[in-house]
Amino acid sequence: MKQKAKVYLVGAGPGDPDLLTVKAHRLLREADLVLHDDLVASAILTLARGAQVENVGKRCGAKKITQDEINARMIEAAQRGLCVVRLKSGDPGIFGRLSEEIDALETAGVPYEVVPGVTAGIAAAASLGISLTDRRKSARVVIVTGHKAHGGQPDGKIDWKNLAREDATLVIYMPGHEFENLREELLAAGLASEIPAVIVSHASTAEQRHQFTTIGDLGSLPHLEPPAILLIGRALEGADTRSRAAAVSQAIECAE
C-alpha cells in the first residue's frame, strides 16, 4: 500500500544492503522522493526504483546544500503530498542531525517518523566479533565523534578525562588521523597504554579494512580510507587473535 504524504527519517545502515531493516527496504520501494547522504551505498539507492533520488550530502564539511535547504526540501515535498524518505547512513540518531530536521518538520506541521538503522560503530564491532558491552570488561559504551566541528565542548575538544575510563568502550566516529594527539590525550586521562584499539574502514562492506593496535601505539595506525570507526577498550581483548584466525580459516577454505 502506498505511503501517505509524510517524511520518513530512515537509517540506511553501514553500507551492506542486507543490513537494512525490512521497513527501510519497504519505504524505499514506496517513496516518491529520496534525499540521501553521501555515504549511502549505491546498492541501497537502487531499491528506490520509482522515486526521484537526490544527493543532499555534506561530507567532510563540503556542503553541496545547507541544512536549512534540506529542511525546506523535505517540507515542500511533503506539503505537495509526496512520501519523502530522508535517508541517512547508519542510524539517523547517531551524528545524523536528526534533531534539527525533526525541529523543522514539527515547526512546519509536517508528519514524520523515525526509522532506526544499524549504526557503523555496532557494525564495525560485529564484523570483528566484539561485544562492546562485554560485562566482564565494559560497564559502559561512550560514543563520540573525533570531528572537531561536532565536539561536545565549546572549543570543539572532547573532555576525555570525564569520558575515558578503564571500564568503558570508546566508539569514535570520524576519528581523523591525528592519532598521536589522541594517544597523548587518552594517556593523560589515565588510560593504560596496553588497552587495545582497532580502526575499521567501510564496516560491513566488501571494502572493509581494519588494523589492531593499542593506545600506546596509536600513533602508528595507518590512515585508512573514510568512513572509519575507531574502537578502544578492554572489551576488544582477544579480538585481534580471533580476527587473524578467521582470516587464515577463510584463506584455507578458498584454496580448497
| Active-site position among 16, 32, 37, 91 | 37
| Active-site position among 16, 74, 91, 174 | 174
Residue 157 annotated among the catalytic residues of the structure: no
Residue 1 annotated among the catalytic residues of the structure: no
Q: Name which of 86, 80, 82, 83 is nearest 104 in CA terms.
A: 86
Angle at 66 between CA 115 and CA 149, to 5 degrees: 85
| Active-site position among 6, 58, 137, 148 | 58
Residue partners of 157: CB distance under 8 A and separation at least 6: 148, 151
Distance (Å, whole) CA 153 – CA 171: 18
Q: What's the Cα-to-Cα distance from 184 to each of 144, 173, 192, 224, rounded to whole Å? A: 17, 18, 11, 20
Residue 18 annotated among the catalytic residues of the structure: no
Reduced DSSP (H G I as helix, E B as strand, rest coil) percent helix, strand, coil of the chain, to 5: 35, 20, 40
Residue partners of 94: CB distance under 8 A and separation at least 6: 119, 121, 143, 173
The residues assigned a catalytic role are 37, 58, 174
